[in-house]
Amino acid sequence: MLDKLVIFGVGLIGGSLALALKRAGAVQHVVGVGRGGENLRNALELGVVDQAETNAAHAVVDAEIIVLATPVAQIPAVMAAIAPHLSSNVIITDVGSTKSDVINNARQQLPQHIARFIAGHPIAGAEKSGVTAARADLFEGKNVVLTPTAETDPQALQMVRQLWQTTGAKVSEMSAAAHDDIFAAVSHLPHLLAFALVDEIASRPNAAQLFGFAASGFRDFTRIAGSSPEMWRDISMANREALLNELSAYQNELLRLRTLLEKSDGDGLQALFEQASQARNSWMHRQSRK
């Protein structure tokens, strides 16, 4: 059992991690660190954390594991704030949706602790944010990706692996570059597309009428546009190059669709739709068997 876990950013992910570990009896004392305000008060009142702190130096004293669960753009500042106060054996990890930038920041801000910094990404979430959305079962059956480097301490890596396995997650490892390329395609791009579609519809003079007739297809496609704008701004900027590549690939696919429509090529459209439908159905079938 961990004696002391410190979580910077007690929102959906950080809060759910605390609840999952508490439910499993895997942690004695959880300290939540934030800028104060309603979210941190809620975390304390809901029992998600046992102690609320706004002072980073005070928070990390005697910590065994520190989890950085703030938006990715805030991580460098948190690293800089805690660096002078860390014990030599503390393990630090994060939950950000991009990994290359976080590891580079750790090398700059935590050079003495880089071997015990384990970059991670739980593939779980919801369109709602904040600690009030946290759930103890959020990570059950979900993937968590860890991206160790050549400097990584194997013991620290195993500790973080066990931490996530305790929540019911399935843990895998890959390079940071591979992670960022994969999630630009299957996570970051879909969010950008959802935000863009809703923004385009909302900008039209007859937006109210359009939204009035929108139904399940629009709802399902745009659900993730209800996610945190701040978080997705940070993710988009952090994974900018990979995301630009994915946008180019998607624009090429849109151009292909436009050409088929311009040519009234019904057979071509059906072939594209059938290929996409089969691919998605196969993916869903594999998901249902996990």
Residue partners of 43: CB distance under 8 A and separation at least 6 = 10, 15, 32, 34, 49, 52, 131
Residue 290's pLDDT is what? 67
Q: Which CATH architecture has domain 178-288?
A: Orthogonal Bundle (1.10)
At which residue do the structure tokens 């950000």 appear?
96
Enter the pTM of the model. 0.90
Q: Which residues of the chain register pLDDT less than 50?
A: none
Instruction: Tell me the C-alpha distance between 213 and 196, whole Å.
Output: 19
Superfamily of domain 2-174: NAD(P)-binding Rossmann-like Domain (3.40.50.720)
Residue 39's pLDDT is what? 85
At which residue do the structure tokens 């459209």 appear?
269
Residue 36's pLDDT is what? 75
Instruction: Tell me the C-alpha distance between 90 and 95, whole Å.
Output: 17
- What is the residue extent of each domain of the chain? 2-174, 178-288
What would the pLDDT profile of 61-83 be if each residue is shown by its tens digit?
A: 999 999 999 989 999 999 999 99
DSSP 184: I
Nearest residue to 40 (alpha-carbon basis) of 16, 3, 8: 8
Residue 95's pLDDT is what? 96
Residue 123's pLDDT is what? 94
Residue 269's pLDDT is what? 98
Do 2-174 and 178-288 have matching folds? no
Residue 31's pLDDT is what? 97
What would the pLDDT profile of 245-287 be if each residue is shown by its tens digit?
A: 999 999 999 999 999 999 999 999 999 999 999 999 999 998 8
- Give the amino acid at 29: H
